[in-house]
């Protein structure tokens, strides 16, 4: 298969499997989405969804959150890992949103990435899932699958994001990044498939003899 043929097959397969792509992180607005995505760094969505109800009961908007002591935030978000950094970021970015953005989450990548604890991937998720802006957030899981499926030779998530954006239609980016995540969890996880097990891997590379080792970002 040529790369374009693999891309077309993947697009069709994922759309059949996941015609609906609900946002995995529970949220009620762009602020709670931003906080949830920030907490999801090196943490599962399932765990984040267990933690955020208590956090948002304490404060679910930047005006209230800015007044919550960091230690109280820390005690709630500790199960998500990296708690010192995340609790500090939540407190500080809430103050910044109030002071610089009238309490609103900025609707552009530059504004989002100016916030503490918000990198390009987190900002892209908020742009995509919160504002509906075409974006292709690439985490380590999508990076691994994109390599496994022969869609990129990127050495890092930045290169992989660029390659995927060039390969797939812009109007499919928002849904596709979630479809890849869903498929990876169900059929093509790091331990569940080595590049020779799941349908997409076997179809794209039917003659692959050895386990595929993806380059880590």
Residue whose structure tokens are 């954006």 = 165
Q: 3 with 150: CB under 8 angstroms?
A: yes
| 29 is known as an active-site residue | no
| 163 is known as an active-site residue | no
Largest CA distance in the chain: 59
Euclidean distance between CA atoms 73 and 38, whole angstroms: 13
CA dihedral sign, ordered 21, 25, 28, 34:
negative
Residue whose structure tokens are 């992989």 = 160
CA distances from 35 to 11, 25, 38, 80, 187 (A): 30, 10, 5, 12, 29
User: Nearest Cα to 35, choosing from 59, 13, 12?
Assistant: 59
Q: Enter the tokens of residue 30.
A: 């762009």
* Catalytic residue from among 26, 28, 121, 202: 121
Euclidean distance between CA atoms 138 and 120, whole angstroms: 9
* Catalytic residue from among 28, 64, 139, 170: 139
CA dihedral sign, ordered 177, 180, 185, 186:
positive
Which residues are known to be catalytic? 121, 139
């Amino acid at each position: 298969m040529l790369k374009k043929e693999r891309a077309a097959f993947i697009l069709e397969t994922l759309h059949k499997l996941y015609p609906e792509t609900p946002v995995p992180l529970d949220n009620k607005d762009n602020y709670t989405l931003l906080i949830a995505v920030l907490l999801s760094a090196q943490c599962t969505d399932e765990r984040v969804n267990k933690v955020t109800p208590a956090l948002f009961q304490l404060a679910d908007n930047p005006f209230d959150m800015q007044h919550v002591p960091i230690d109280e935030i820390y005690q709630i978000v500790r199960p998500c890992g990296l708690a010192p950094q995340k609790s500090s970021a939540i407190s500080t970015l809430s103050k910044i949103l109030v002071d610089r953005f009238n309490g609103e989450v900025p609707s552009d990548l530059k504004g989002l990435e100016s916030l503490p604890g918000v990198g390009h991937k987190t900002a892209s998720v908020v742009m995509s899932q919160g504002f509906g802006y075409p974006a292709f957030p690439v985490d380590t899981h999508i990076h691994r699958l994109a390599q496994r499926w022969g869609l990129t030779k990127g050495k890092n998530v930045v290169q992989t994001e660029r390659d995927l954006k060039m390969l797939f239609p812009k109007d499919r980016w928002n849904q596709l990044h979630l479809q890849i995540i869903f498929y990876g969890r169900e059929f093509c996880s790091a331990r569940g498939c080595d590049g020779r097990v799941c349908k997409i891997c076997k179809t794209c590379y039917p003659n692959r003899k050895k386990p595929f080792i993806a380059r880590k970002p």
